[in-house]
Amino acid sequence: MTSVLYDAPGPRAKRRNVLISVIFFALLALLAWFIWDAMDEKNQLEWALWKPFTQSEAWTTYLLPGLGNTLKAAALAMVIALPLGAFFGISRLSDHRWVRGPAASVIEFFRAIPVLLLILFANEAYDRWANVTTEQRQLYAVVTGLVLYNASVLAEVVRAGILALPKGQSEAAKAIGLRKGQTMRTILLPQAVTAMLPAIVSQLVVIVKDTALGGVMIGFTELLNSRGTLAANYANPIASFIVVSIIYIVLNFMLTSFASWLEQRLRRSKKSTGAVLSAEDMEELNPAATGGTYGTGAGGSI
């Protein structure tokens, strides 16, 4: 698509492109050398610092349990946020103002507040008013914060998914005499769920990334927090940062790729209505097409 910006290169353009490529490559190589040199100077390249990652101990003691907690928190948050989001998303589409209004307020409120504040608040609230052990409390707090925020984001996804369906679907349901609840339950929601799947998978990436907040701010032992303990033990801050980043990148890249694979597959599918929401669609759909306000706390995939 973007190749419309330039023609197929002729001989002169080819020469120029090669020249620019060489200069750009030189700049990148310079940057890489600069980083390598800086790491060498601070002795961060020594094998002793990287060796732990080739042995099982670093993984079984620190990284895998940390990753496990990250995944556990993300999975729990997702599983709880989805039905909650569906509930609020559908409520926001209600015909009754007294249902629509409060649902919209709740959604907009929790989208406007940083997840970190929600996690900090939940952590303190569980400490003060609930009887849970410290270790459980941190997990609870992270999951609560993530659920409140992501349920409201998912509510918008659900709403956009239902609104993206062709109008004929609900008209046909009305014509055969289905009630509003039946239309939603048997006609709209099942189709909307398919349309939403890619956007939901993309939202998982956001959840996985946000679990790291719990590690830094309230001491939940997820992957980033485990990195700290690991680095303190082996004295390899840079190496541990690089390895942990790679784990996050691989994990989230798999989710992103899965989401776009799913999207393409659903778009091709003959059974669907053709309504498919990707994460990018959501950002554009949210304000304009779905007739919502400019959400206070948009930015679903960031």
Partner 1 sequence: MFDFLSDYDNPTLLGAFWMTVKLTFFSGIGSLIWGTLLAAMRVSPVPLMRGFGTAYVNIVRNIPLTVIIIFTSLGLADVFGVTMGASDFQVRGFRLAILGFVVYTAAFVCEAIRSGINTVPLGQAEAARAIGLTFSQTLRLIILPQAFRSVIGPLANVLIALTKNTTVAAAIGVAEAAYLMKQMIENEAQTLLIGAVFAFGFVVLTLPTGLFLGWLSKRLAVKR
| Token pair of 217 as six digits | 């701010």
d(CA 238, CA 261): 34
C-beta of 14: minimal distance to partner 1 in Å? 10
36 binds partner 1 (CB under 8 A): no
Nearer to partner 1, 194 or 278 (CB): 278
Residue 156 interacting with partner 1 (CB under 8 A): no
- Cα 205 to Cα 138, 199, 214, 292: the distances in Å are 21, 10, 16, 25
Structure-block tokens of residue 73 = 């928190």
Buried b (16+ CB within 10 A) or exposed e, 34-63: eeeeebeeeebeeeebbebbeeeebbeebb
CA distance 222 to 16: 49
Does 67 engage in binding with partner 1 (CB under 8 A)? Answer: no
* # chain residues binding partner 1, by CB under 8 A: 68
Stretch that binds partner 1, among 47-55, 85-93, 157-165, 239-247 (CB under 8 A): 239-247
Should residue 284 be labelled a site residue for partner 1 when binding is judged by CB under 8 A? yes
Tell me the longest C-alpha to C-alpha distance in the chain: 76
For partner 1, the closer CB: 102 or 237? 237
Three-state DSSP class for 283? helix
Cβ atoms of 300 and 203 within 8 Å: the answer is yes
Q: Does 296 bind partner 1 (CB under 8 A)?
A: yes
21 or 186, CB closer to partner 1? 21
**Cα–Cα distance between 85 and 104 in angstroms, integer?**
12
Q: Which of 101, 114, 166, 190 binds partner 1 (CB under 8 A)?
A: 114
Whether the Cβ atoms of residue 258 and residue 197 lie closer than 8 Å to each other: no
The residue assigned the tokens 């197929």 is 8
Q: Which of 130, 249, 265, 269 binds partner 1 (CB under 8 A)?
A: 249
Residue closer to partner 1 (CB basis): 60 or 296: 296
> 6 vs 47, which CB is nearer to partner 1?
6
Neighbours of 102 (CB within 10 A): 14
Contact between 26 and partner 1 by CB under 8 A: the answer reads: no
Interface with partner 1 by CB under 8 A: which residues?
1-2, 4-7, 9, 13, 17, 20-21, 24-25, 28, 38, 42, 44, 109, 112-117, 120-121, 124-125, 128, 205, 208-213, 215-217, 224, 231, 237-238, 241, 244-245, 248-249, 251-253, 256, 280, 283-284, 286-288, 293-302
